[in-house]
Amino acid sequence: MFTTYLSFYLVFVVLVSLVVSLLVLWLKLPSPRLIIALLIFFILSPLIFGYFYLMYFNSLPEATVPDVVGLTLAEAKEKLEAAELQARLAGTVYELKYTEGAVVSQRPEAGRRVKAGRVVNLMVSSGKRKVTVPNLMGRTLIQADAILGAAELRVGEVKFDHNPSVEEGTILAQEPLSGEETEMGGTVDLLVATTLEVITEENTGEVE
């Protein structure tokens, strides 16, 4: 590290000397003191900067970034703090592979050597993706099953209501309602019209 910096510094000194010499010839500077002052400034400034860089910044201890993918945000923060690093929530993203609140990705990646105190950005799973429930009113069960499948939903509990004024098999109500959001892969309960007499638990008891 030091050898590389010294090489760059020597090249810099040569270039500065040439530039200052050309400026002297071009501007026809009469005072040698000004020339010497410029040379000292341009030559010493990178030397001073390099000294502070090597003594302070470059001397900071390093740490290996641990793998926190799959952990909860609280667990990830605790693990990073134990490695002398800082955690920062960078945002949330839908990821089916991980449960809600689990770390999906991290930057810098696990295994990298970084300066102690470095911030590690974490992306956290938002849980299951939300989908909008389609309107099934007036549809048949077969149509509802196809519509829900296209919306990545399923038919849930189906109940029947005796309603001779409506065509057999027509959907009268749904839960959740049309336009509401629910988790992808969820179910929608349906109330379907029938012209037959509906037998419920209330009217199946023995008559005394």
pLDDT for residue 168: 92
CATH of domain 62-125: 3.30.10.20
pLDDT for residue 97: 83
Into which CATH architecture does domain 131-198 fall?
2-Layer Sandwich (3.30)
pLDDT for residue 190: 97
Where are the domain boundaries for CATH 3.30.10.20 in the chain? 62-125, 131-198
Cis, bond preceding 108 (omega within 30 deg of 0): yes
pLDDT for residue 88: 95
Report residues of the chain scoring pLDDT below 70: 1-60, 199-208
pLDDT tens, position by position, 65-115? 999 999 999 999 999 999 999 999 999 888 878 888 999 999 999 999 998
Which DSSP string do the residues of 114-146 spell out, in sequence order?
EETT-EEEEEEE--SPEEEPPP-TT--HHHHHH
Q: How far apart are CA 12 and CA 17, in angstroms?
A: 9
pLDDT for residue 109: 95
pLDDT for residue 105: 95
